[in-house]
Structure 1
Amino acid sequence: MQPRMTRAVWTLFTITIIFMMLLVSCRPSTPEVEPSPTAEPPTPAPTMPTLDLNALYNTQWVLAAYGDPDNPTVPPASIQINATFTPDGLLAGSSGCNNYQTGFQASTDGTMTIQPEIATTFMACPDDQMEAEQAYLQALAQVTSFNFTADGNLTLRYQLDSGEEGLLVYGKGAVPFTNTEWVLVSYGDPANPTEAEPGIPVTAIFSDEGQLSGIAGCNSYSAGYTVEGETLTISPIASTMMMCTVGMEQETAYLQALSGAESYQITGQTLVINYTVDGTPGALTFSSANLPLVGTLWTLASMNGIQPAEEVTITAVFEVGDEAGSGTVAGQAACNNYTGGYTVNDSNLTIGALATTMMMCEETIMQAEQEFLQTFQATQTYQIIGNTLLLQSDQGMLTFTAERTPLLGALWQLVSLGDPNNPTAPVEGSNFTAQFIRNPSAPMGVLSGTTGCNEFAAAYAASLNEIKINQPISTGITTCVPGLLEQEQIFFLALNNATQYTILGDTLIMPYDDNQQALVFQGTQLEVAERPVLSDLDGSSWYLWSINDQAILPGTTITAIISVNPEGASGVMNGSAGCNTYQAEFGEQLGVTTTLTSGQFCNLPAGVMTQEQNYINTLARAYGYWQTGDQLILNSGSGVLTYRTTMPPAAGDQTHLLINRDWFLVSFNTNFSLPGEREPSTRFNQDGTLNGYTGCNTMNGSFTTNINQITISGLSSTMMACTDQALQNQEQAMLAVLGSAQTYQVNANNLQIVGAQGVLNYSLIPLTRP
Structure 2
Amino acid sequence: MRYLIGTLVMILAFAALPIYSYAAADPNRLVGTQWKLLRYGAVDSPTQPVGEQPITLIFSAQSVGGTGSCNTYGGNYRVEGQEISFSNIFSTLIACQPEAIAKQEQAYFQALRKATRYRIVDGLLIISYGANEALVFTRLLNFADSTWRLIAFGEREIALVPLEESLITLRFRAESVGGSSGCNTYKATPIYRQEALRFEQITSTQMACSEALMMQERAYLEALSAVRSYRIVDGLLVLNYGADGRLIFERVPTFTEWAWQLTAYGAPNALNPAVGEITLRFAERRASGSTGCNQYSATFEVSGDSLSFRAPISTRRACETPALSQQEQAFLKALEGVTHYSELGEELTLYYGANERLIFKRAQ
Query: Which of structures 1 and 2 has the bigger CA Rg?
Result: 1
**Structure with bigger RCO (C-alpha 8 Å, 6+ apart):** 2
TM-score, normalising length: structure 1: 0.23
TM-score, normalising length: structure 2: 0.45
Q: Which has the higher strand share?
A: 2
